[in-house]
Amino acid sequence: MNLSTNELEPLFNPATVAVIGASTTVSSVGYRTVENLLKDGVKTVYPVNPKGGEMLGLKIYLNIKDIPEKVDLAIIVLSAKGAVKAIEDCGIAGVKTAIVGSSGFSETGSEGANIEKSLREAVAHSKVRILGPNCLGVFNVHTKANLTISATMELVRDQLISGGVSFVTQSGAYGIALFVQGVENGLNFSKMISLGNKIDVEDSAVLEYLGADPETKVIMFYMEDIKQGRRFFEIAKKVTPHKPIVAFKVGRTEAGARAAASHTGALAGSYKVYTSAFKQAGIIEADTSSSLLEIARVLSMQPAMKGNRVGLVTNSGGLAAETSDFLDTAGLCVPTISTELQNRLLEEDAVPAWGVYKNPVDMTVANIKYREWYYRSTKLLLESDEVDGVLLIMVGVGLEWPVDMFLEQAEELRRIGKPIVITGSSRKSAMAEIVPKYHQAGIPVIADPALAAKALAALCHRGSYLERVRA
């Protein structure tokens, strides 16, 4: 059954949330979930447990049906069979949406599959829209509401900065780990949603919701499979002209050959069809979870690249050479700049006077005194019509990275409308101090040059796709 985006609203922005299976045992999921909800972003929390009593200053209701007001969202942390009954009760109580955190369904085998069937029937009958089962829930970074059954999200609560990247994950634990990794690397999320077994709310419904959500600027997927492939494709095609989608699909090797009577059938491995569908819908495909995070981050921070020519500004010829190889593999090029542009760099004191700068622009000296060179070269390259983006490649033993200049002139550079990415490394402590400053200026720092190359390639892919759809 196809959901409207309105039906999903209570899943992301509930005012009243009940926890069915709430528990006074401090280490339990039934306790933790209530505790999470009380942190922020939720108006009223209702613990539910037939034993009744009190917890965390709240009355524990015996049944969802006893709650005196309409509940937007119920988070269910009972056993699989308990969850089926709970959904029936939610239906009677008029609860709009539910997150079923319980496991023990089809992922465990045939008995679980039978319970899942009962759950499907309960959902159809009760008209409650459910996320899961076997999922972790939703985290809304704007409202800071932790609608998950996990305590892990709380570990990074203080580091959260709300942003535009919404993350849809099919894996619970791994999804949360990636979320935390993202947060710690300067990825500003909007929402995170863990889908679980997807028996009701699935990828295409969530994609449609996030596509229409004004807070979401980039949509990122960690997926193992898609339930409604064609619908997902059609919706993605409508979303990508306005917002980038990046997806990492796991499970590319063929588990079972397709039974086919033709050559075509024999050659059409299911992963090949996925990757073609992504391409056709303008979805950027990431090849690893790290590149998924970095591509999403860069897409949210920098404009698309209108061509594939990259200008390199560096203090290390060696790292620049290594990076050039990665750029080439990623389908980008490092063109030799014209003599005019080379002369301009010299004339405008953007480079040391004793060198030749064909691209890469190698300063050869790592010296704070000359940090204006990095800024001026970057600006001149971007302003010329010979490159479509600049990659700064910096190695530093001390604090040689010219961060202050870039911070001061961030607006100026942003106005040019071409992407800037920084790669390279320094000592851990130096990076910890420098990198957040660049991120504040909106310039992503990606230490691994191979990953930086993939991120730039994604910006380039985005640019050529936009050109194709707007033509």
Partner 1 sequence: MSAREIFKVAKAENRKILYELEAKEILSEHGITVNEGYLARSAEEAASIAERLETPVALKICSPQITHKTDAGGVKLNLQGEMEVKKGFEEIITGAQNYDANAHVLGTVVQPMVKPDREVIVGALRDPLFGPVVMVGLGGVLVEVLKDVSFRLAPLEKADAWEMLQDLKGFSILTGIRGKKACDIEAIINVLLKISEVITEYKDEITEIDINPMFVSPEGAIAVDARIVLN
Which residues form the interface with partner 1 (CB under 8 A)?
225-226, 228-230, 233, 260-268, 270, 272-274, 276-277, 279-280, 468
Q: How far is the CB of 273 from partner 1 (least distance, A)?
A: 5
Q: How far is the CB of 262 from partner 1 (least distance, A)?
A: 4
**Judged by CB, which is closer to partner 1: 231, or 344?**
231
Query: How far, in Å, CA of 46 to CA of 93, rounded?
Result: 13
**Judged by CB, which is closer to partner 1: 226, or 350?**
226
Q: Which amino acid is at 50?
A: P
Closest CA to 245 of 11, 458, 17: 458
Query: How far, in Å, CA of 291 to CA of 281, rounded?
Result: 20
Query: How far, in Å, CA of 469 to CA of 471, rounded?
Result: 5
Q: How far is the CB of 229 from partner 1 (least distance, A)?
A: 3
Q: Could you tell me if 213 and 198 are in contact, meaning their C-beta atoms sit under 8 angstroms apart? A: no
Closest CA to 387 of 332, 348, 319: 332
- What are 225's strand-pairing partners? none
Q: Could you tell me if 148 and 191 are in contact, meaning their C-beta atoms sit under 8 angstroms apart? A: no
Half-sphere exposure of 48 (CA within 13 A, CB side): 24
CA 414 vs CA 373, 386, 389, 441, 468: distances in Å: 18, 18, 12, 9, 24
Structure tokens at 366: 């790592």
The CA-based angle 6-10-14, given to 5 degrees, is 145
Query: How far, in Å, CA of 452 to CA of 471, rounded?
Result: 29
**Judged by CB, which is closer to partner 1: 198, or 217?**
198
C-alpha dihedral sign at 71, 73, 77, 83: positive
Residue 186 backbone class (left: φ over 0; alpha: ψ -120 to 50; beta: rest): left
Q: How far is the CB of 419 from partner 1 (least distance, A)?
A: 24
- What are 420's strand-pairing partners? 390
Sheet holding 445-446, edge to edge: 361-362, 310-314, 389-395, 420-425, 445-446
**Judged by CB, which is closer to partner 1: 125, or 279?**
279
Q: How far is the CB of 263 from partner 1 (least distance, A)?
A: 5
Q: How far is the CB of 208 from partner 1 (least distance, A)?
A: 17
**Judged by CB, which is closer to partner 1: 242, or 279?**
279
For helices 110-126 and 80-93, angle between their N-to-C axes, nearest 10 degrees = 0
**Judged by CB, which is closer to partner 1: 156, or 277?**
277
